[in-house]
Homo-oligomer: A and B are copies of this chain.
Amino acid sequence: AVGWSDLDIRAVDTARILAADAVQKTGNGHPGTAISLAPAAYLLYQNVMTHDPADPHWLGRDRFVLSAGHSSLTQYIQLYFSGYGLELEDLEALRTWESATPGHPEVTHTTGVEITTGPLGSGIASAVGMAMAQRRQRGLLDPDAAAGESPFDHHIYVIAGDGCLMEGVSGEASSLAGTQKLGNLIAIYDQNQISIEDDTDVSFTEDVKGRYEAYGWEVIDVPWRKHHGTTDPEYLEDVDALYAALQKAKTSTDKPTLVILNTVIAWPAPSKQGSGKSHGSALGDEEISGLKKLLGFDGRKTFEVTDEVIGHTREVKQRGKDAHDAWNTKYEAWRSANPDGAKLLDRLVARELPEGFAEAFPTFEADEKGIATRAASGKVLTALADVMPELWGGSADLAESNNTTMGGQPSFIPSDRQTKEWSGGPYGRTLHFGVREFAMGLALNGIALEGLTRPYGGTFLVFSDYMRPAVRLAALQNIPVTFVWTHDSVGLGEDGPTHQPIEHLAALRAIPMLDVVRPADANETAVAWRTILEHTDHPAGLALSRQALPTVDRTEYASAENVAKGAYVLADTEGTPDVILIASGSEVPVALEARKSLADKGVAARVVSAPCLEWFEKQPKSYRDEVLPPAVKARVSVEAGISMPWHRYVGDAGRCVSIEHFGSSADGALVLKKFGITPDHVVAAANESI
């Protein structure tokens, strides 16, 4: 038994009234879960998790993921209690401009928050990525240590709610976690049976225990609420039972654990417990006053925290220091015994690129026939395998199509999951996400958040739609995830309109902080990868062709090194051009051909290759004006997708050669031709623009 003192109980009750007061003061927020889940959160931070408030980035810490992100107070109050820097005035400033306590937890914004959550299901899915990353990191640095003995061993704790479990991505990720046997993952499912539409009986009646057992999880029931329903007169917060469940979960080595904690939302609020009214609105003065009286607080005071309570809760700092000290001994021993590992670790922590990085990239000879940029990408990855051990990734069941497998690298799978086609082991490198693009995206985010490795993941560009909320969260969290999106136009051919991206380049460029990179040939692909990996503070997505593209002769045209500038003059004219043709990816060769046709007719056309508009926008105006001189108004964009992103570049006199409708099932080259992505069409557009 955990053996809480009266002071612990007072601290938990203090957490409840702080949650109620904070929401009431701001006038909006989510008090209910923060009230009823206070004991569970307190238990995690005070008794279960290994963490050190004095060093929020300590490598040895357990990770905490509040998948039920709307209940941000659940975490903020524990961060305040533990002494991570949040103070009472921060709680009072909940959800106000530039406060440390925004509506949902935001990583990098609030010390002690490991991940930005709020979009439901995303936390638990990213936690699966964290758990995978922990295993990979251990495998890279300390593979031979006994279980639980490595300084790189830690657990990932999650609090998830009904909403998280309803979202399909929790199913995708949890199924993957079962296949991966992630014993280091422990989730508490706060089953309060209340969501915004009140009692979840109207929409969510499944047997979650059965479902998670089917995924291969260990499931432990902790029924504080004994019956089906949202309330329970016999409700008992059996903290010891929860503690025992979590202790048992820690001993699991080959299964993730789901602790199903049946709660009454907002318990023990006198009239709004067990009701949707406590979920996402302030409780009101009367209800809060009643709650306070019930818990022995002064109903007229707000934000009442005694020194005794806060002094007691902050003792966790000492326990954290002790744990950290003990870990240091192990860690230093590991460093001494593993000088190469220590060197590698130091580089990874500093997020520095390895020696020999730039030299590792392949270059490709000029070649009319060329190769697909997805194939070039595969060669780049294989070339990086030895030099950049932190780089790893895979595909959502399209490994061969996405060219995401580094040649010769083992799969990251439990040994008994190996198949005829894929060998590997628990410390392997090639990731198999299954047909689960969204879970892949969120797991990649979790891997990046764990901090030591660089993940990438592939699918078809059209299915970036499936993972879009994950891409947004990568951008919002400023993390260096690389998305590999192949089959990037109708040029993919026969799979037809369900598989042919039309609007996707535009829609992805719309996401702030995301670099969308569409290289035009093999050499552009190599420089694109290099530039992406040089960035560590935001994600990027590569759009790569299925079809072969000519490898541009760089003795005749400009160097692919210019890719880093986002857009560059690939083929120029003598003097001022009559027209500028701006193209990306597979349409650059189309523009080059059009340029030749135009030259035959005495029209001087410049071709600008524009693999990444985001990088281009970061260049100084002088460079941008050099590439696209303001005086040259005749401009044509060429891209096999909608024109929306190009109007600002071609301007009033410009023309867009684009596709504004869905695709069609036929040979890719034919579809491109039928849809007007041809040199002739570009020539016609150029003549119109001039």
Q: Which positions in A face B, CB cutoff 8 Å?
A: 26, 28-29, 69-70, 95-99, 102-104, 106, 116-121, 162-164, 166-172, 175-176, 178-179, 195-211, 213-216, 276, 395, 397-401, 411, 413, 417-422, 432-436, 438-439, 462-463, 465-466, 468-469, 472-473, 475-476, 493-499, 502-503, 506-507, 509-513, 642, 644-645, 647-648, 651-652, 660-662, 664-667, 670-671, 674
Contact = CB atoms under 8 A, between A and B. Distances in A.
A395 B196 CA distance: 11
B506 A512 contact: no
A289 to B, nearest CB: 24
Contacts of A118: 495-496, 498-499
A460 to B, nearest CB: 10
Contacts of A216: 205-207
Given A103-B496, A206-B214, A399 B502 contact: no
- How many identical chains are in the complex? 2
A111 to B, nearest CB: 16
Nearest to A212: B214
Contacts of A666: 95-99
Contacts of A28: 493-494
A399 B196 contact: yes
A507 B209 CA distance: 38
B495 A103 contact: yes
Contacts of A205: 178-179, 216, 417
A663 to B, nearest CB: 9
B398 A168 contact: no
B397 A203 contact: yes
B95 A198 contact: no
A421 B197 contact: yes
Contacts of A171: 168, 171-172
A432 B215 contact: no
9 contacts: A95-B665, A104-B496, A106-B496, A118-B495, A119-B462, A166-B436, A197-B422, A476-B497, A506-B644
Contacts of A121: 435
Given A506-B644, A644-B645, A97 B667 contact: yes
A167 B512 contact: no
A329 B197 CA distance: 44
A481 to B, nearest CB: 16
Contacts of A651: 651-652
A266 to B, nearest CB: 15
A213 B215 contact: no
Contacts of A502: 512
B197 A432 contact: yes
Nearest to A122: B498
A179 B204 contact: yes
B513 A202 contact: no
A521 to B, nearest CB: 24
A284 to B, nearest CB: 17
A202 B413 contact: yes
Contacts of A119: 462-463, 466, 498
